[in-house]
Structure 1
Amino acid sequence: MSIVSPVRHPDLKSPGTMTKRGWWLVGLNILIPGSAQLLAGSRRLGRIGVSMTFVLWGIVAVAAMLFFAWPTAIYWVASNVVALTVVQGVLIAYVVLWVILTLDTLRLSRLVRARPKVRPFIAGLAVLALVLTAGTASYAAMVAGVTRTTLTELFADGSYKEPVDGRYNILLLGGDAGPDRTGLRPDSISLASIDVETGATTMIGIPRNFERATFSDGSPLWGPYPDGYDCGDECLINYLYTYGVEHPELYPDATAGGSTPGIEATRDAVSGVTGLEIQYFVLIDMQGFAQLVDSLGGVEIDVPVRTPIGSITNTEPDYWIEPGVQRFNGAGALWYGRSRFAATDYDRMERQRQVQEAILTQFEPANVLGKFQGIAEAGVQVVKTDIPSVMLPRFVDIASRARATPITKLELVPGVVDTLDPDYAMIHELVRATLAGSLVPVEDE
Structure 2
Amino acid sequence: MSLAASPIRYPDVASRPLMTRRGWWLVVLNFLIPGSPQVLAGSRRLGRFGLGATLVLWLLLVAALVCWFVWPTVVFSAVSMAWSLWILAAVLVFYAVLWVVLTFDTLRIVRLVKTAPSARGWIAGLTTVLMIALSGGASYGAYLAFTASGFLNSVFIAGPTEPPDENGRYNILLLGGDSGPDREGMRPDSMSVVSIDADTGHAVMIGLPRDLEDVPFPDDSPLAQVYPEGYGAIDGCEVDVCMLNSIYTEVELKSPEMYPDAVARGSEPGIEGMRDAAEGVTGLDIQYYVLIDMQGFEQLINALGGVDINVETRIPIGGDEDNDGVDGWIEPGQQHLDGYHALWYGRARYGVAGGDYERMARQRVLQEAILHQFTPGNVLAKFQDVASAGADTVKTDIPQSMLGYFANLAMKTKELPIGQVELVPDNGVDPTDPDFEYIRSLIAQALVPPSPDPSEQPAG
TM (norm. structure 2) is: 0.93
CA distance in 2, matches of 1:286, 1:362: 18
Instruction: Identify the match of residue 425 of structure 2 among 411, 414, 417.
Output: 414
Contact 2:176 2:293 in 1 (8 A): yes
CA distance in 1, matches of 2:236, 2:425: 22
Instruction: State the match for 2:388 in structure 1.
Output: 377
Q: How many residues align?
A: 444
Instruction: State the match for 2:133 in structure 1.
Output: 132
Report the alpha carbon displacement of residue 141 of structure 1 after superposing the two structures with TM.
0.9
Instruction: State the match for 1:218 in structure 2.
Output: 220
* 1:279 paired to 2:280: no
Instruction: State the match for 1:7 in structure 2.
Output: 8
Gap change, CA 1:443 and 1:420, over 3 Å in 2: farther
CA distance in 2, matches of 1:380, 1:364: 18
Contact 2:92 2:141 in 1 (8 A): yes
Deviates more, 1:177-186 or 1:200-209: 177-186
CA distance in 1, matches of 2:231, 2:452: 38
Contact 2:4 2:10 in 1 (8 A): no
Aligned amino acid, residue 83 of structure 1? S
Instruction: Identify the match of residue 241 of structure 1 among 235, 240, 248.
Output: 248
Aligned amino acid, residue 338 of structure 2? N
Aligned amino acid, residue 195 of structure 2? S
CA distance in 2, matches of 1:444, 1:385: 41
CA distance in 1, matches of 2:5, 2:77: 46
Within a 5 Å distance, the mapping from 1:87-126 to structure 2 comes to: 87-126=88-127
Instruction: Identify the match of residue 335 of structure 2 among 323, 326, 329.
Output: 326
Instruction: Identify the match of residue 409 of structure 2 among 374, 398, 407.
Output: 398
Instruction: State the match for 2:372 in structure 1.
Output: 361
CA distance in 2, matches of 1:193, 1:178: 30
Within a 5 Å distance, the mapping from 1:246-265 to structure 2 comes to: 246-265=254-273
* 1:141 paired to 2:145: no
Aligned amino acid, residue 250 of structure 2? Y
Within a 5 Å distance, the mapping from 1:177-188 to structure 2 comes to: 177-178=179-180, 181-188=183-190
Question: Percent identity of the aligned residues?
Answer: 52
* 1:28 paired to 2:29: yes
Deviates more, 1:99-108 or 1:123-132: 123-132
SS at match of 2:334: strand
Report the alpha carbon displacement of residue 79 of structure 1 after superposing the two structures with TM.
1.2
Q: Unpaired segments of 5 or more residues in structure 1?
A: none
Deviates more, 1:298-307 or 1:194-203: 298-307
Deviates more, 1:134-143 or 1:316-325: 316-325
Contact 1:311 1:340 in 2 (8 A): no
Contact 2:81 2:400 in 1 (8 A): yes
CA distance in 2, matches of 1:178, 1:138: 43
Gap change, CA 1:4 and 1:250, over 3 Å in 2: farther
CA distance in 2, matches of 1:194, 1:439: 13
> 4+ runs of 1 displaced by more than 6 Å?
none
Report the alpha carbon displacement of residue 151 of structure 1 after superposing the two structures with TM.
1.1
Report the alpha carbon displacement of residue 356 of structure 1 after superposing the two structures with TM.
1.2
Instruction: Identify the match of residue 445 of structure 2 among 433, 442, 445.
Output: 433
Contact 1:178 1:287 in 2 (8 A): no
Contact 1:168 1:278 in 2 (8 A): yes
Q: Unpaired segments of 5 or more residues in structure 2?
A: none
Deviates more, 1:339-348 or 1:305-314: 305-314
Aligned amino acid, residue 232 of structure 1? G
Q: Deviations over 1:69-100 (max 9, x none)?
A: 00111011111222212111111111011000
Instruction: State the match for 2:297 in structure 1.
Output: 289
Q: Deviations over 1:174-231 (max 9, x none)?
A: 0012466542110000000000111011000011011110111111111111111125
CA distance in 2, matches of 1:420, 1:441: 38
Report the alpha carbon displacement of residue 444 of structure 1 after superposing the two structures with TM.
5.5
TM (norm. structure 1) is: 0.96
Aligned amino acid, residue 135 of structure 1? G
Deviates more, 1:376-385 or 1:345-354: 345-354
Contact 1:173 1:189 in 2 (8 A): yes
CA distance in 1, matches of 2:438, 2:374: 36
Contact 2:89 2:143 in 1 (8 A): yes
Aligned amino acid, residue 239 of structure 1? S
CA distance in 1, matches of 2:100, 2:362: 51
SS at match of 2:242: coil
Deviates more, 1:388-397 or 1:64-73: 388-397
CA distance in 2, matches of 1:395, 1:23: 48
Instruction: State the match for 1:232 in structure 2.
Output: 236
SS at match of 2:426: coil
Contact 1:215 1:221 in 2 (8 A): yes
Report the alpha carbon displacement of residue 340 of structure 1 after superposing the two structures with TM.
3.1
Gap change, CA 1:317 and 1:217, over 3 Å in 2: same
Gap change, CA 1:61 and 1:198, over 3 Å in 2: same
CA distance in 2, matches of 1:391, 1:215: 27
Gap change, CA 1:97 and 1:227, over 3 Å in 2: same
Instruction: Identify the match of residue 310 of structure 1 among 318, 331, 334.
Output: 318
CA distance in 1, matches of 2:328, 2:29: 62
CA distance in 1, matches of 2:127, 2:299: 40
SS at match of 2:7: helix
Aligned amino acid, residue 282 of structure 1? V
CA distance in 2, matches of 1:96, 1:73: 28
